[in-house]
Amino acid sequence: MPVIREQHDRQLLTYETPASSEQRKKKKSPGTSILDFAYLPCMLRSLVLFISMLVTASVMFGAGQQVESGKSDGVILTQKPCALGPYEEQSAFTKRFYSRGEYESARSSPSADCFRIVYSSDGLGVVGYLVRPRGEPRRRYPIIIYNRGGFLDLGKIDSWNIVDFEHLSAEGFVVLASQYRGNDGGEGHEELGGADLDDVTNLFRVAGTLPYVDMRNIFMYGLSRGGMMTFLEMKRGPAVNAAVVVGAVYDLAAFQQRSPAIVGKATELIPDYPSKKASALQERSVMNWPEKVNAPLMILHGGDDDEVPATEALAFATKLSNLKKPYELVVYANDVHEVANNRRDRDARVIAWFKRYIR
């Protein structure tokens, strides 16, 4: 049964499924073995390389977007150190929820490296971020694929996200995040869960090129629209140990009824929306296909979220419960969309959830 309890001057509604409780008790499973490419027959290796070349040479991807040929997906094309300006120049959101001390500590962190990257996705140069621990050169770290919220410049990765990423990095995680195509100087056009979902998929490929990433331990973390992207990526079936969503969008049609102006602007990004209408929204709404959630899921939600009501998170949790899916739900009374008032508790729960499922 859900339990309401006081903790650190806030009310939390928590629920843990028996499946997730049992998972905590299980011993860690051994790492998976890897088949060495050198043992494959020569003809098979040639065939694999030929197919790879054909995929790379393709010039049409997604919903009609023209892309360059010969640009392999999932490759970092450029990277440069993150540039965090003075605290006084940061957004009102950053200054409201992050102290000067926290910000300055992240800005000059001795324990993490932060890079603004451009990586290849469907032949496009897409902007993202890479934050990694500074540590033992031969150590491999678990990785978090972070999916931002909003669309276009609204909700793009900002300085407060970098502070959060460096905190995750200090706990021993590599973080990869995308601005999605067409944003922050990137190439292409965002499609709100259309072809731009490839920008998330290709972060997995980027991760596979990084020698300090442990590909046995991959996690996803989505905020708001990024929760929708997390669910859509799960639908594609990648090997993910566990996931977390904060203020996730579960039902775009319901969102449209609550906020027609915002969703109206967002649907302008969907190429086939004029012809598909409601079905385009249903395809992007996990409330219609909860069975596709294929990893233990932590749901964090603000009780005063004015974009996605907490009742929607509760309704989705009920669907997961009926399907016997492992999940945990935490609703923070009087908190906002990003669960920023309780972000220290939020972050502690995220880290503990991911560490529970490290192999």
- Residues 71 and 78: their CA atoms lie apart, in Å, by 13
pLDDT given for residue 138 in this prediction: 86
Nearest-5° Cα angle at 252, 348 to 67: 90
Is 35 within a domain?
A: no
pLDDT given for residue 286 in this prediction: 98
Q: Which residues contact 322 (CB under 8 A, 6 or more apart)?
A: none
Work out how many domains the chain is built from and give that number. 1
Q: Which residues contact 119 (CB under 8 A, 6 or more apart)?
A: 74, 75, 76, 77, 125, 126, 128, 202, 203, 206
β-sheet bridge partners, residue 223 = 246
pLDDT given for residue 36 in this prediction: 36
| Residue tagged 């200090």 (tokens) | 170
Is 101 within a domain?
A: yes
Is 265 within a domain?
A: yes
Cα–Cα distance list, 309 to 81, 156, 223, 250, 313 (Å): 38, 22, 14, 10, 7
| Residue tagged 């449209």 (tokens) | 256
Count the neighbouring beta carbons within 10 Å of the beta carbon of residue 9. 6
The model's pTM is: 0.83
Q: Report which residue type is found at 99.
A: S
CB 230 within 8 Å of CB 197? no
Which is nearest to 313 in space by CA: 222, 178, 179? 222
pLDDT given for residue 64 in this prediction: 35
Nearest-5° Cα angle at 179, 187 to 227: 135
Which CATH number goes with the domain that contains 316? 3.40.50.1820
**Residues comprising the chain, all counted:** 359
pLDDT given for residue 136 in this prediction: 77
DSSP 197-232: HHHHHHHHHHHHH-TTEEEEEEEEEEETHHHHHHHH
**10-residue mean pLDDT series, the chain (359 residues):** 36 52 46 34 39 36 40 94 95 96 93 96 98 89 98 95 96 98 97 98 98 98 98 95 98 96 95 95 98 98 97 98 98 98 98 98
Supply φ then ψ for residue 246, to 5 degrees: -125, 125
Is 188 within a domain?
A: yes
Domain that holds residue 168: 3-26+42-356
pLDDT given for residue 16 in this prediction: 53
Is 37 within a domain?
A: no
- Rounded to 10 deg, the angle between the 159-170 and 343-356 helix axes is 40
Is 31 within a domain?
A: no
- Residues 263 and 257: their CA atoms lie apart, in Å, by 9
- Residues 285 and 291: their CA atoms lie apart, in Å, by 12
Structure tokens given for 209: 């090129």
pLDDT given for residue 33 in this prediction: 33
Q: Which residues contact 15 (CB under 8 A, 6 or more apart)?
A: 1, 2, 3, 317, 328, 329
pLDDT given for residue 67 in this prediction: 40
Structure tokens given for 335: 């908190």
pLDDT given for residue 69 in this prediction: 43
Which is nearest to 175 in space by CA: 107, 238, 221, 209? 221
| Residue tagged 């890079």 (tokens) | 115
CB 309 within 8 Å of CB 279? no
